[in-house]
Amino acid sequence: MPEKPPQRKVLFVEDEEALQTSYRRYFAGRYAMAFARTGADAMKQLDAFTPDILVLDMRLPDTDGIALLQKIRQQSPKLPVVVTTAYVSMEPLMGVLDLGHSGYLVKPFDLNDLAARIDAVG
């Protein structure tokens, strides 16, 4: 029997409890997951968990996603990032577009769409 490929390690940076719960339920068994609620938390998890991909909410209690993404890029320039945002306006995302992210989704989005983005990376 062929060996199962190792699970993708996904770090979800999301401060909404309900969304974290949805991610946990929906992706259980599909990905190895870690969660961070703040930018500071995300930076710690980046070292401790070493994710294959990052799912990053643009609005966090301690920082905005663009500033955090710039920090993450300095530390892990090649880490694929899927940005999630409640803003329909592209304006705040324009600063993100040149940072090598792997797409963005506007909330509320379908978890199938997020899974497709995660699976398409790498």
Residues of the domain holding 67? 8-117
Number of domains in the chain: 1
**Which residues, at least 6 apart from 69, have a Cβ–Cβ distance to it below 8 Å?**
56, 81, 83, 96, 99, 101
**Which residues, at least 6 apart from 9, have a Cβ–Cβ distance to it below 8 Å?**
31, 32, 33, 34, 49, 50, 51, 52, 53
With respect to residue 3, please indicate whether it lies within any of the assigned structural domains.
no
CATH code for the domain in which residue 105 is found: 3.40.50.2300
With respect to residue 77, please indicate whether it lies within any of the assigned structural domains.
yes
With respect to residue 122, please indicate whether it lies within any of the assigned structural domains.
no
Per-residue pLDDT of the chain (122 residues; tens, 9 = 90+): 666 667 999 999 999 999 999 999 999 999 999 999 999 999 999 999 999 999 999 889 999 888 899 899 899 989 999 999 887 675 666 666 666 677 888 888 999 999 999 999 86
With respect to residue 68, please indicate whether it lies within any of the assigned structural domains.
yes
* pTM across the whole model: 0.89
With respect to residue 98, please indicate whether it lies within any of the assigned structural domains.
yes
